Structure 1
Amino acid sequence: MHIRRAVTADAEELCRVLNEIIRIGGTTAIETPLSPAEFADWFIDGELALVCHVAEHDQMLVGFQSLSLYGDPPAGYADIATFARVNPKIPGVGSALFPATRTAAEELGFEFINATIRADNVSGLAYYTKMGFEDYDRLIQVPLLDGTPVDRIKKRYRLRATGQATGPA
């Protein structure tokens, strides 16, 4: 698997990956499909987007991970989002992406990476725990578009001032 920085030209394919996840439902707080232009603005080159990496496998984009300032995180925090292609599912996409994202967060001078995960997203919670994120807050009963209340678990990954992360690689 090859990891590289995303470019605006990746937006169309990555948007298809994300929109399939949105259509399936149950794992992302994003509930409305995005256009490629919206995708690029949110994740690649918009005002609040910091960095986005893609994973390529067999000449196909199989996932992406971004850092941003969406949601007005506290000083010293960047927000992370991770998405992997559902079909075909390629194991290890998130694990392959995280070292590049962690390095980017360190280079940008952040103290923490924040992940806010739906409480019903069992695989997402397990992934971030595996990467070394620790729970630090919970948003109670945040309504989905249809009104269904779902808690959000806030996890953070501490970055050392020396540029080395404290969690497992």
Structure 2
Amino acid sequence: MHIRKAVSSDAEELSALLNEIIRAGGTTALETPLSAAEFADWFIDGEFALVCHVAEHGRSLVGFQSLSLYGDPPKGVADIATFARMHPKTAGVGSALFPATRAAAKELGLEFINATIRADNVSGLGYYAKMGFETYDRLLQVPLQDGTPVDRIKKRFSLGGGHHTVPHA
């Protein structure tokens, strides 16, 4: 598996990967499919996008991980998003992507990476725990588009040495 920075020409393939996950439901807070242009704006080169890495396997993109400032997080904090192709599934995509994302976050001078995960996303919660993220907050009963309330678990990964105050967004 090869990890590299995403470029705008990746947006078509990556939006298809993401839209499959959105349509399947149950793991992402995103509920509306994105066009390639929207994808590029959100994850690759838009106002809030900091960095996006892709995982290539064979001739296809099998996942991506991004850092962004969407939602105006506290200074020194960026949000992470991680997505891996559902069909065919490739093992280890998130684990392969995280070292590049972590290195980019350190280069950007961030103190923390924030992950906000749906409470019903068991695989996502397990992934971020495995990467060393620690739970620090819970948003209760956040409604989906259909009104269904689902908690969100907030986890953070500390990039600095020593002890920092945990940011509460």
Structure 1 length normalisation: TM-score? 0.95
Residue in 2 that maps onto 1:130: 130
1:137 aligned counterpart, secondary structure: strand
Deviation, 1:22, is 0.2
Q: How does 1:82-101 map to 2 (within 5 A)?
A: 82-101=82-101
- 1:56 to 2:56 alignment: yes
- Which aligned pairs between 1:131-150 and structure 2 lie closer than 5 A? 131-150=131-150
For 2:5 and 2:110, locate their aligned partners in 1 and report how far apart those are by CA, in whole Å: 19
Counting matched residue pairs gives 162
Classify the secondary structure of the residue corresponding to 2:50: strand
Checking the alignment, whether the CA contact within 8 Å between 1:5 and 1:52 is kept in structure 2 is yes
Matched, 1:157 2:157: yes
Tell me how far apart the structure 1 counterparts of residues 158 and 101 of structure 2 sit (CA, whole Å). 13
TM superposition shift of 1:152: 0.3
After TM superposition, the score normalised by the length of structure 2 is 0.95
Letter of the 2:73 partner, please give it.
P
Amino acid at match of 1:78: A
Does the 8 Å CA contact 1:111/1:161 hold for their aligned counterparts?
no
CA–CA distance in structure 2, aligned partners of residues 161 and 108 of structure 1? 15
Instruction: For 2:129 and 2:75, locate their aligned partners in 1 and report how far apart those are by CA, in whole Å.
Output: 23
- 1:12-23 equivalence runs, <5 A: 12-23=12-23
Structure 1 segments, 4+ long, off by >4 Å, are: none
Distance 1:152 1:126 in 2: 14
- Residue 109 of structure 1 aligns to a residue whose secondary structure is coil
1:24-63, aligned counterparts within 5 Å?
24-63=24-63
Query: What does residue 103 of structure 1 align with?
Result: 103
Q: d(CA) in 1 for partners of 2:64 and 2:20? A: 14
**In structure 1, C-alpha distance between the alignment counterparts of 2:128 and 2:113, rounded to whole Å:** 11
Taking every aligned residue pair, what percent have the same amino acid on both sides? 80
User: 2:159, 2:121 → 1: CA distance?
Assistant: 25
Task: Give 1:59 shift.
Answer: 1.2
The answer to whether the 8 A contact 1:44-1:52 is kept is yes
Match of 1:80 in 2: 80
- State the superposition RMSD in angstroms: 0.9
CA contact (8 A) 1:66 1:81 kept: yes
Deviation at 1:142, TM superposition (A): 0.2
- In structure 2, what is the equivalent of residue 165 of structure 1? none
Runs (5+) with no aligned partner, structure 1: 163-169
Kindly indicate whether the alpha-carbon contact (under 8 Å) linking 1:3 and 1:53 is maintained by their aligned counterparts in 2.
yes
Secondary structure of the residue aligned to 2:43 is helix
Stretches of structure 2 lacking an aligned partner (at least 5 in a row): 163-169
Output the CA distance in 2 between the equivalents of 1:152 and 1:76. Answer: 21
